[in-house]
Amino acid sequence: MKVKNTSLPKGTSALTTLKTLEILQCLAENGQPMSLLDIQRATNLGKTTCLRVLQALETKHVVQRDPQTKKYRIGLRLLEWGMAAVSTLGLQDVGRKYLALLSQAAGETAHVGVLDAYDVVYVGQHQPSNPIRFIARIGSRAPSHCTAMGKVLIAHLEGSERGLYFQQHPLTPMTPTTITERQAFVKELETVRLNGFSVDMEEHRIGVRCIAAPVRGQTGQVVAAMSISGPTERFSSDRLPELADLVRHFAQQVSEELGYVGSLID
């Protein structure tokens, strides 16, 4: 299908594309509707440029403008594109089935996440019937160094990529138990690769613990992580091995559905 290029300003270039991405990133990370002035200040773009880009994005439903408040927010078109991207990984249909099975077996909330710009992005979820549960919004992001899924994904980066990770991603403390010392974090990643799963012991949120395992594609590359999360009291030290086995089992099932033959453990 041919798409008419009617929405972008004349003279569109790589620079305009970068400005467009800056505006979208600003709106996505802020999480709340923003005025034109707020967007200008956050992106350091001129008023005319900022307005022209926003108007172009609005015509394609990539951003939406509230007619009363005049504020902008991310449009539903981005969600559509995001779900299309997840589908190309083969995770959407396969993951949905096994997330439900994992959630039912553990009695906890199950998630699938992928790595994007060294953050974890939640792309799938299944909630248990248990009234006390941990829920992350689909499409939301979380720091990788203090989440179980993030540790799994970082642990399986190639050496050069992991080096860039440490250069660009500070180990910011989120709770008193967050690992913030590089040597200790490297040791943690080695343990993750050895065991085939990772744990978040209230490192991201107080009162919440998580366990995650890698999901591998056909070539053996880790393409996602699968996890369960819940209140600390339900993730006691005695129960952790049982829960870890469950997560690894279902992550293995997803991996095999994606064409992988082998163990999750390196």
143-178 pLDDT per residue, tens = 999 999 999 999 998 877 888 888 888 999 999 999
Look up the CATH number of the domain holding residue 203.
3.30.450.40
262 found inside a domain: no
With beta carbons less than 8 A apart as the criterion, state whether 259 and 252 touch. Answer: no
Please give the helix or strand (H or E) that residue 72 lies within, else none: strand 72-74
Query: Is the same domain home to 194 and 112?
Result: yes
pLDDT band, very low/low/confident/very high, at 88 (cuts 50, 70, 90): low
Report the run of H or E that residue 241 belongs to, with start and end: helix 240-257
Provide the pLDDT for residue 132.
63
Residue pLDDT, tens place only, 97-133: 899 999 999 999 999 998 887 889 888 889 887 666 6
Q: List the structure tokens of 149.
A: 């899924």
Residue located via tokens 């790589």: 14
- On whether residue 4 sits in a domain, the answer given is no
Q: Are strands 109-116 and 198-201 parallel, antiparallel or unpaired?
A: unpaired
Q: Give the closest residue to 70 by CA, choosing from 80, 58, 53, 60.
A: 58
Say if 7 falls within a structural domain: no
Q: Are residues 39 and 135 in the same domain?
A: no
What pLDDT is attached to residue 263? 80
Same domain for 175 and 102? yes
Same domain, 65 and 192: no
Answer for the pair 66, 73: CB distance below 8 angstroms, yes or no: yes
Q: Angle of helix 36-43 relative to helix 47-59, nearest 10 degrees?
A: 120
Same domain, 166 and 239: yes
- Whether residues 152 and 211 share a domain: the answer is yes
How far apart CA 72 and CA 42 sit, in angstroms, is: 13
Phi and psi at 248, nearest 5°, equal -65, -40
Residue 137 within any structural domain of the chain: yes
pLDDT the model gives residue 8: 42
Does residue 5 sit within a domain? Answer: no
Range of the domain at 166: 86-257
CA–CA–CA angle 210, 173, 149 (5° rounding)? 30
143 with 231, same domain: the answer is: yes
CATH of the domain at 64: 1.10.10.10
- How many structural domains comprise the chain? 2
Q: What is the mean pLDDT of the chain?
A: 85
Kindly state whether residues 98 and 218 are assigned to the same domain: yes
Say how far apart CA 140 and CA 169 lie, in whole Å.
18
Q: Are residues 127 and 153 in the same domain?
A: yes
The residue written with tokens 């086995």 in the block is 245
Cα–Cα distance between 186 and 265 in angstroms, integer?
17
Q: What are the angstrom distances between the C-alpha of 215 and each of 24, 122, 236, 265?
A: 29, 14, 25, 11
In a domain, 122, yes or no: yes
Closest residue by Cα to residue 210 from 188, 233, 230, 234: 230
C-beta of residue 94 within 8 angstroms of C-beta of residue 110 = no
User: pLDDT of 173-218, one tens digit each?
Assistant: 999 999 999 999 999 999 999 999 999 999 999 999 999 999 998 8
Same domain, 46 and 145: no
Co-location of 70 and 94 in the same domain = no
**Within this chain, do residues 67 and 185 fall inside the same structural domain, yes or no?**
no
Residues 6+ apart with CB under 8 A from 194: 265, 266
Instruction: State the pLDDT at residue 2.
Output: 36
